[in-house]
Amino acid sequence: MSTSSQNAGPFTPEQQQYLQGFVAGAEAARMARGLPTFASVAGTLVVPSSAGGTRSATTTGDHPARAEDIHRAMQDRFVAEGKKLTSEEQAKRDKNPFEMWDEMRANAAAGKFPKGTDVFLYKFHGLFYVAPAQNAFMCRLRFAGGITNSHQFRGVADIADKWGGGYADVTTRANLQIREIQPQHSLDVITALIDLGIVNRGAGADNIRNITASPTSGIDAQELIDTHELAREMHHYILNHREMYGLPRKFNIAFDGGGTIAALADTNDIGFMAVRVDDGHDVPAGVYFRMELGGITGHKDFARDCGLLLKPDQCVPVAAAVVRVFLEHGDRTDRTKARLKYVLDRFGLDEYVAKVQEHLPFPLRRFPLEKCVAHGPVEPLAHIGVHWQLQPGKSYVGVVLPVGRLNCEQMRGLARIADRYGSGTIRLTVWQNLLISDIDATEIETVKHQIEKLGLHWSATNIRAGLVACTGNAGCKYAASNTKSDALRIADYLDSRLTLDVPLNIHLTGCHHSCAQHYIGDIGLLATKVSQEDEQIEAYHVFLGGGYGDNRAIGREIYQSVAADEVPRRIEQMLLAYLAHRRDDEESFREFTRRHSTEELLSLFQSAVAAAA
């Protein structure tokens, strides 16, 4: 080393910034892996301060520092590189959303909604200020695997009646939402939910959303394994690990046990898919899980198989490790590129899995997918109507909910039915409906009648059974149309004009966030606005041929900017062309659209218009 180097003066500001970022990144990576940090020998974690210099976070021996410090160190790495954090990341950096209770209490007492980035931070408590669509809060709940009970369901109805709009919506994550909550009642809702045993912490913002699973877990004769306990274990792991909150972006996890109702696991950031391995391989025969990563169909991507074979009891620790790698490497400077998919695109699956392995005390097992025995077929209508259970003499009933909405009296009525004729269990599905399980065969006709008395039904046409719609502009500021109203109008029109003898999925989503997953529908509708006579009217882009699971595909756009009033007739033309030109009665609409080019489809649809005229 030269004399001039040895006698060099203090580091320049640029050098200090670089070194702070380097140290923060190294320390955070070790903390996230549960390894002793370089500073733990001295009992102190040195973290660069946003105000300049450094600050210390006390540690004890080999114990990692607080979860907040892990996330802050990751932010520091971007700052040290001269990048600007997103406003949401800065908000999390400036204020711990779980230390806002007194502030939230003061706002409630004053009847005030949050302002600025506090609107984002309130979502950590499941409270969404949805103005201008509604000058009110929406509260999103959490039910592990979508399973709840009559007591909770009745309690949610009471909360919605007392402090909400008198209804609740079943969502596409097998969850419930309460709407039209005024600010003075925001914490009344949260505390009442906790009293019911419903902890909705992290139901929104940059957190892991409601854990979904096969809705017929434990009662499905076809399933390979009951996934509800895994969903429940994952749910409680998240609630009790602070580092699982405040991720670079939202995160979805699903477990599919191989039942007859699809859990849409391949549309999640992590999808666990049950498989069977028979004798004759280098692993014991039995039921395992494959793990798929990076599903986000709103960005036109499905989850990809990682090449791993996991024992059931390995799923939760592996999922936690996947999340930890994501929090280390997810982008905190660009919200549009912050989801897991983009980390996978940057690293590749193999490198990402190698980083996951660093967080685990056991080796991950590689095993070819083609040596696994897949589960049985998904039944498109298994979520609707009466179906036998695994338990002898028992059945479940899938209740049709018009685009997922229930008024409070209907909720109380369904709770009564579940109590009187079932086990009190209510199972929410990703198809915006619910199942009442454990009903004796002798009571089925009575249950059907009781459901009908509530103004609901247990059967549906093929049009209505697969109808999915997001909240729309009646309750979401991002939506360009009233999707729920338009969905019902489409169903009313089509049911009055034709009879469809095969299942059909129609998905309506109000914006690019794709909460209703329009890309995976047989027919997908994405709302937009178009100009007509000097005003903006509601319209939809139309996509065809989407699918999921064994039929996964991203739908292709066939029409652009079709006025909402015209959409029912346009779909009628497509269905008439399908009925006239399908190969046989067994060919689905999805299969029909996939075997024709866009030009061929447009010609067939136009011929249907001419024939109708």
In this predicted model, what pLDDT tens digit does every residue of 385-419 receive, in sequence order? 999 999 999 999 999 999 999 999 999 999 999 99
Band (449; pLDDT cuts 50, 70, 90):
very high
Q: Is the pLDDT of residue 605 over 60?
A: yes
Q: Note whether 410 and 454 are within 8 A (CB).
A: yes
Tokens 């802050």, residue? 72
Q: Write down the pLDDT at residue 42.
A: 35
Whole-prediction pTM: 0.89
Position 364 pLDDT exceeds 80 = yes
Write out pLDDT tens, residues 279-332: 999 999 999 999 999 999 999 999 999 999 999 999 999 999 999 999 999 999
Upper half-sphere CA count for residue 327 (Cβ side, 13 Å)? 29
Q: Give mean pLDDT, residues 162-179.
A: 98
Q: Report yes or no: 247 and 207 within 8 Å, Cβ to Cβ.
A: yes
| Whether the predicted pLDDT of 49 surpasses 60 | no
| Residue 184 and residue 111 in contact, taking contact as beta carbons nearer than 8 Å | yes
Q: What is the pLDDT of residue 609?
A: 77
pLDDT digits (tens, 9 = 90+) for 81-95: 999 999 999 999 999
Predicted pLDDT at 43: 35
- Tokens representing 510 are 């109000």
- Looking at residue 28, its pLDDT comes to 45
Helix (H/G/I), strand (E/B), else coil: 179? strand
In this prediction, residue 19 carries a pLDDT of 52
Find the helix packing angle between 150-163 and 408-421, rounded to 10°: 170
What mean pLDDT comes out for the span 173-191?
98
The distance between the two most distant Cα atoms of the chain, rounded to a whole number of Å, is: 94
* pLDDT confidence bin for 62, thresholds 50/70/90: very low
What span, in angstroms and rounded, lies between the C-alpha atoms of 356 and 366? 14
pLDDT (0 to 100) of residue 11 = 52
Could you tell me if 172 and 484 are in contact, meaning their C-beta atoms sit under 8 angstroms apart?
Answer: no
Per-residue model confidence (pLDDT) at position 371: 97
Q: Does the structure show a pLDDT above 70 at 47?
A: no
d(CA 72, CA 65): 11
Tell me the C-alpha to C-alpha distance, in Å, between residue 497 and each of 325, 460, 463: 52, 16, 11
Q: What is the pLDDT of residue 12?
A: 55
Alpha-carbon gap, residue 117 to 31, rounded angstroms: 28
Mean pLDDT, residues 463-489 taken together: 95
Mean pLDDT of the chain, nearest integer? 91
Region 549-554 average pLDDT? 95
Per-residue pLDDT, 610: 74
b/e map of 147-177 (b: 16 or more CB within 10 Å)?
A: bbbbebbbbbbebbbebbbebbbbbbbbbbb
Instruction: Judge whether residue 140 has pLDDT over 60.
Output: yes
Query: Which pLDDT score, from 0 to 100, does residue 66 have?
Result: 77
**Residue 102, class by beta-carbon neighbours within 10 Å (0-12 exposed, 13-18 middle, 19+ buried)?**
exposed
Average pLDDT over residues 242-266: 97
Mean pLDDT of the region 339-353: 98
Burial of 270 (0-12, 13-18, 19+ CB in 10 A): buried
The Cα–Cα gap between 437 and 421 comes to 9
Radius of gyration, alpha carbons of the chain: 26
Give the three-state DSSP class for 429. coil
Residue 70 and residue 64 in contact, taking contact as beta carbons nearer than 8 Å: yes
End-to-end alpha carbon distance in the chain: 90
Residue entry with tokens 């549309």: 267
Residue 462 has pLDDT above 90, yes or no: yes
Distance CA 47, CA 195 (A): 39
Please state the three-class secondary structure of 89-141 as a single string: HHHHHHCCHHHCHHHHHHHHHHCCCCCCCHHHHHHHHCEEECCCCCCCEEEEC
pLDDT of 150 = 98
Convert the pLDDT of each residue in 416-430 to its tens digit.
999 999 999 999 999
Annotate 526-553 with three-state secondary structure: EEEEEEECCEEEEEEEEEECCECHHHCE
Predicted local confidence at residue 58, as pLDDT = 33
Position 613 scores a pLDDT of 64
